[in-house]
Structure 1
Amino acid sequence: MKRPFVIALATVGVIATAAVALPNLPPNPLTDTVNARLFNNEEKTFATAADAPKKGDPAFVLPDWIPQDATKVKVKAHTTGKAKLIRFTLGPTPLGGPQCAGAPAQPAPKLGAKWWPKDAGQAHPECRGHYQVVVRGGKVYAWTNGAAPTGATMAGVGPTR
């Protein structure tokens, strides 16, 4: 009678431990697979923005406003939605693209990552397309939860969709 209960309890303990530990382990083939299948998250790193794909999986195609000479690019994307985090270091080229006009602040990121600052959502981000962007020194943190900013227009471009 006690043996099935102990086995069930041990199984629940292993699953709970894995659910907490696996998303926080450094990237490797096992954690990448578990994160992708169980948590629907994928991460990729590129030496420069120019190394990122230009077409294909939209989760890892970078927005046009990111300069090609940006370095140390990290992207985390939710594979069943459009939420995404992007971090990179600016090179000599400044951020491009039009900024949103009249867009209210968007919510903090729904995703999280070890390399993502916990207070980025509380900073006063600027809006670029579907992204909220915070620049700290030479590092840029951008996120989207998948929706265009409410009431936003791109300066000189019209409503975002």
Structure 2
Amino acid sequence: MNRRPLVIAVATVGVLATAAFALPNLPPNPVTDSINDQLFKEKSRHFATAADAPTHGQPAFALPSWVPKDASDIRIRARTTGGARLIRFTLGATPMDGPQCTTGTPKELGRRHMDATWWPRGTRAEERPECRDVHQYQVSVRGKRVYAWTDGTPSPGAKTQDGAPAAAPTRHHG
């Protein structure tokens, strides 16, 4: 009996399973960026300062308006389908004035569907809703580090650039 095809199949499945777990957590580089984009539909960027982040042209990597202008060491991981994003940054001299929702009742976002090696465990209990931008975020402040995520849910009362009410994202599971 020839076991060679079975061994090749098992080895292939092992390599693919390892890649599925390891690739999303490897440091960004051209290979992992390409695989994350194609396989996981996610892209990551790092900006040294808030001034380095785009203000237009790349909406997935533009910072929300509530991020202080002197924030640094900014990491963003964005889903290329839909509005889900993870953001981490370090506060400068400007303190974070705390997550706020002054335009209405925040929506229940559920749980995060994305992860990154730079995202700490156990933030859920300390997360508070932030609604001062187009999308509602869940924000956790740990000392000088701020962690924020959104699934693309519009903030209460949010409007698009043309003044229309912001629409909820299409849910993608996977």
Instruction: Select the residue among 121, 124, 142 that pairs with 2:148.
Output: 142
Tell me if the contact between 1:108 and 1:122 (Cα under 8 Å) persists in the aligned partners: no
Tell me if the contact between 1:85 and 1:143 (Cα under 8 Å) persists in the aligned partners: yes
Give, in whole Å, the separation in 2 of the partners of 1:64 and 1:122: 24
Tell me if the contact between 2:99 and 2:128 (Cα under 8 Å) persists in the aligned partners: no
Gapped regions of structure 1 (runs ≥ 5): 155-159
Gapped regions of structure 2 (runs ≥ 5): 159-164, 167-174
Q: Which residue is 1:132 aligned to?
A: 138
Q: Determine what percentage of the aligned residue pairs are the same residue.
A: 52
- Which deviations, in whole Å up to 9, do the C-alpha atoms of 1:42-64 show, x marking residues without a partner? 11110101100111121101111
The 3-state SS of whatever aligns with 1:59 is helix
Tell me if the contact between 1:52 and 1:60 (Cα under 8 Å) persists in the aligned partners: yes
1:56 partnered with 2:57 = yes
- Give the 3 Å change call, closer, same or farther, for CA 119–88 of structure 1 in structure 2: same
Matches within 5 A, 1:8-27: 8-27=9-28
Q: Which residue is 1:31 aligned to?
A: 32
Q: Which residue is 2:171 aligned to?
A: none
Q: Which residue is 2:86 aligned to?
A: 85
Deviation at 1:3, TM superposition (A): 2.2
- Give the 3 Å change call, closer, same or farther, for CA 96–51 of structure 1 in structure 2: farther
Give, in whole Å, the separation in 2 of the partners of 1:117 and 1:49: 21
TM, length-normalised to structure 2: 0.78
Give, in whole Å, the separation in 1 of the partners of 2:107 and 2:151: 14
Higher strand share: 1
| Paired residue total | 154
